Amino acid sequence: MSKQHDQQRREAEHALDQFRETEEGKSQYWGTLLDYCRGDSMIALLESTLHLSGDVIECGVYRGASLRKICRAVSDFSPDKLVFACDSFSGFPAEQVGRVDLGFLRFRHRVKKKFQLCDDVPERMERFFQMHRIHGQIVKGNFSETLKQFEHEKFCFIHLDCDLYESYKECLGELFHCLVPGGVVVFHDYGSPNWPGAKKAVDGFFATKAETPQQSRQRDEPAWYVRRSAEAE
């Protein structure tokens, strides 16, 4: 995705924000989010965990498309839960982009420059949280710097959309032990030809565990996930 395309998307989203700040726009968009949720297996998996203890976390927010769906479901089914949104909002740490992360005809110097035009997202998501009374918290910074604060937290649902091999390793290493029994972690990039490092990291992490990644097709948009064993401590 080029910087020009990112800029065009950013401008379009700001125009949409203005519409959403009207009562009509707020109501219409909230309904549209529900339609998106009804077509997404990731949201079905999230809904299956919201009766459990623990909060919800997403690592890899980009411009907030999946985060908004997550917020809609949490608002409907367990509005007291916290939703944590973790991202640098400034692109990848350049040193973490390795050969394992390069899909066919993708070049490291280009991948390193992806997702950099997101500095406006934290403020926009804060307004979204406030508008819809979501208990949301932006966690800005590289995962190596921010995830250790969750060492003693409990989560019922984790959404990983962090693209890179090293990022998936970091997130799973820091967060999987926080997942309550029966909780779910979803891997957005698992099996993606553009991000081969994601599958390698996930498969490597679970190679010595009882759980195995599997695919949900409950709704039109499939999702790869692991549900933590009910016997987990």
**Backbone phi, psi, residue 19, to 5°:** -65, -40
DSSP-derived pairing of the beta strands 155-160 and 214-216: unpaired
Amino acid at position 90, single letter: S
Q: What is the domain extent for residue 221?
A: 3-227
What's the pLDDT tens digit per position in 8-62? 877 888 888 888 888 898 999 999 999 999 999 999 999 999 999 999 999 999 9
The enclosing domain of 48 has a CATH number of 3.40.50.150
Q: Is residue 17 a part of any domain in this protein?
A: yes
Q: Are 219 and 39 in contact (CB under 8 A)?
A: yes
**β strands within the chain, DSSP E:** 55-59, 83-87, 136-140, 155-160, 179-187, 214-216, 223-227
In a domain, 233, yes or no: no
- 92 occurs within a structural domain: yes
pLDDT digits (tens, 9 = 90+) for 123-152: 999 999 999 999 999 999 999 999 999 999
pTM of the predicted model as reported, rounded to 2 decimal places = 0.92
